[in-house]
Amino acid sequence: MTDIKEDSANPSKGKGEAAARRAAITAEELIQQIRDTADKLAADDSSRGDLKILSRSLRELRYAFKVFAPYRHRRKVTVFGSARTPEGAPSFQQALEFGQKIAEKNWLVITGAASGIMEAGHLGAGRENSMGLNIMLPFEQDANEVILGDEKLVHMKYFFTRKLMFVKECDAVVCFAGGFGTLDEAFEVLTLLQTGKRDMCPVILVDEPGGYYWKKFHEFILDPLLKQRLISPEDLAIYKVTDSCDAAVEETLRFYRNYHSMRYVRDKLVLRIQEAPSPELFEQIQTEFQDILVRGRFKLSDPLPHESDQPDLAPLPRLVFEFNRRSLGRFRMLIDCLNDLSIEPALREFPE
């Protein structure tokens, strides 16, 4: 499991100054830290095998960062699903339709670049709206014809570097039916969201029309996980199950209807939104979500001084508060309230 969140704060008392110093480190200083780490590897008498893993991982990530950098201004959705899904399957057609409809909203579609669901997502989005992260396996896995040879395709040796890029670079995750790899990727995303190791984003699990793949997955979450209290009822808020392509598109877009982005500034969580809540809704939020605060109250704010490095976001209103960093399901429900400009989504009941 890889932590992909660049954190600029620590809520523990007495650690705020250290966190601020870490956030202020320059790019040159970070590069020097990488050099220092490499020197220590030599002093540690690291094995050739260990050095090969580190060297290849660093090279893969450097190149992937370079490929994705020009597209950071566009929303992206990562689409997971089986490489074995045939072209005539209902889920193949759903993935194709999803790719087409989300690309029409100026989103990019990231997939594993192979066949099946991955190819369907790219077929729908078209080459110009597709990005690929292909995995090199002992048995041959070629990139699909849509993305093959495109500058937005990255070939990677390691699953862990590939998964990091899938989740780090996306604004939403949509999972169709798949095998061990798809389940691994789905659980990775849910774990990162549940533990706050990446910023909140929509996760949609899409069954074929009338299908049961993710429905059965949800039943497993309810029993035994929820029934045995291995997760909290609020954790159910971090994903949605549907068998409708249109519902998957709507859920993806709805998440960004009002919510824009988030950032930690020392001990405060800053939510950037398109429209501030009404005075009535703001007071309801104060009451309904008091449980997710460490102390104090929610505040509406202009940009904080530490946000001066993002001047393009300065016009957006802010909701600022000291988040307990544990209640991530409740936090997702707060975002739903802000998107709907209504408290109702927060009051839905969960199974016992």
Residue linked to tokens 């309230």: 337
Count of helix runs (H) and strand runs (E) in the chain: 11, 11
Cα 168 to Cα 154: distance, rounded to the nearest angstrom: 15
Q: Cβ(187)–Cβ(181) under 8 Å?
A: no
Q: Are the CB atoms for 113 and 64 separated by under 8 Å?
A: no
Q: Identify which of 83, 95, 90 has the alpha carbon closest to the alpha carbon of residue 180.
A: 83
Alpha-carbon span 323 to 268, nearest angstrom: 7
Q: Is 285 helix (H, G, I), strand (E, B) or coil?
A: helix
* pLDDT at residue number 157: 95
Residue 107 predicted with pLDDT over 90? yes
Cα 340–Cα 245–Cα 327 angle in degrees, nearest 5: 45
pTM (two decimals) = 0.91
Could you tell me the strand order of the sheet in which 203-206 lies?
153-156, 130-135, 108-111, 76-80, 172-175, 203-206, 240-242
Q: What is the pLDDT of residues 174-222, one digit of tens each?
A: 999 999 999 999 999 999 999 999 999 999 999 999 999 999 999 999 9
42-77 confidence digits (pLDDT tens): 999 999 999 999 999 999 999 999 999 999 999 999
pLDDT attached to residue 9: 39
Q: Give percent above pLDDT 70 in the chain.
A: 90
pLDDT of 13 > 50? The answer is: no
Average pLDDT over every residue of 281-299? 97
Query: Mean pLDDT, to the nearest integer, of 305-310?
Result: 94
Mean pLDDT of the chain, nearest integer: 92
Residues 205-224 as b/e (b if ≥16 CB within 10 A, e otherwise) read bbbbeebebbeebeeebeee
Mean pLDDT calculated for residue range 150-171: 97
